[in-house]
Amino acid sequence: METPQTQRLKFRESLASGTTSGMCDGYLQANMITLPAEYAFEFLLFCQRNPKPCPVVDVLEAGHVMPRIADADIRTDLPKYRIYKNGDLEQELLDLREVWQDDFVTFLLGCSFTFERALVEAGISLLHQEMEKVVPMYQTTIPCEDAGRFKGNMVVSMRAIKKEELEETINITSQFPQAHGAPIHIGNPSEIGIEHIEKPDYGEFTPYQEEERIPVFWACGVTPQYVGLNVKPEIMITHAPGHMLITDQRE
């Protein structure tokens, strides 16, 4: 198995750019969002008020590129990034060095990929890993608590879990509060505003047999990206959905 450092070097050298789901089992993975310093306090307050979708695991000071939880350069060591300008997706990049600014503040947030290892070790089937797809994610009608300019609804990730494995899944994921913790919704997607389960807003749909599995939804670290687009900062940088920072911190 690759170590976090060797895997990050592959990303740094653009030798790999796929989803990090299932990589480097046992190590914390993190969502990333980078904003100009003028937005940093309001965004941190938003995270504190909404810890389920936004569990903060590290904050880098303005202009800094090396987090405390990984011997890494956040400009190069994620597999893929997204650049948003004034609320619109402008491009995807494998390297941020040419667009980096000295006033950028970076936030690293816990990721549900972290608890997936524990689920797999318990023998729980995860379809998106078996199908080698990015976990499906959806915008919902679940409101987040506002913080200054940051306001909007929660994004969730979905895993269709076998009915007989549901209770164990809830018990296991509840042990990972830094990785979104227990599910926030189970069952009928329309109750949280998802009308077309087969059409995720991010990631890829994983078909499942409804008589065997039930859709289970967790708060998702894409939430601050989605909410951030409502603010329309002149620039916002995030990881591409499913393409996380693999840290050196054990789960």
pLDDT at 164: 96
Tell me the per-residue pLDDT of 5-37, one tens digit each, with 9 for 90 and over. 999 999 999 888 888 887 888 888 998 999 999
Report the number of distinct structural domains present in the chain.
Answer: 2
Tell me the per-residue pLDDT of 41-86, one tens digit each, with 9 for 90 and over. 999 999 999 999 999 999 999 999 999 999 999 999 999 999 999 9
User: Strand pairing of 153-162 and 88-93?
Assistant: unpaired
Q: Which two tokens stand for residue 111?
A: 């990721």
Is the same domain home to 102 and 119?
no
CB 242 within 8 A of CB 19: yes
Give me the CATH number covering residue 192: 3.30.2040.10
* Whole-number Cα distances in Å, 95 to 73, 80, 228: 10, 8, 21
Q: What is the pTM of this model?
A: 0.88
CB 49 within 8 A of CB 95: no
Is the same domain home to 79 and 174?
no
Is the same domain home to 26 and 67?
yes
Q: Which domain holds residue 62?
A: 4-112+230-250
Is the same domain home to 120 and 107?
no
Is the same domain home to 69 and 107?
yes
- The residue type of 182 is A
φ/ψ of residue 45, rounded to 5: -65, -40
Tell me the per-residue pLDDT of 131-163, one tens digit each, with 9 for 90 and over. 988 899 999 999 999 999 999 999 999 999 999
pLDDT at 21: 80
* Whole-number Cα distances in Å, 112 to 9, 50, 115, 150, 221: 23, 15, 6, 22, 8
Owner of token pair 């400009």: 75
Is the same domain home to 122 and 202?
yes
Question: Which run of H or E residues covers position 8?
Answer: helix 4-12
Is the same domain home to 20 and 92?
yes
Is the same domain home to 38 and 82?
yes
Give me the CATH number covering residue 96: 3.40.1640.10
Is the same domain home to 51 and 18?
yes
Is the same domain home to 100 and 138?
no
Reference 128, options 138, 120, 136, 117; nearest CA is 136
Q: What percent of the chain has pLDDT over 90?
A: 76
Is the same domain home to 145 and 215?
yes
Compute the residue count for the chain: 251
Is the same domain home to 200 and 125?
yes
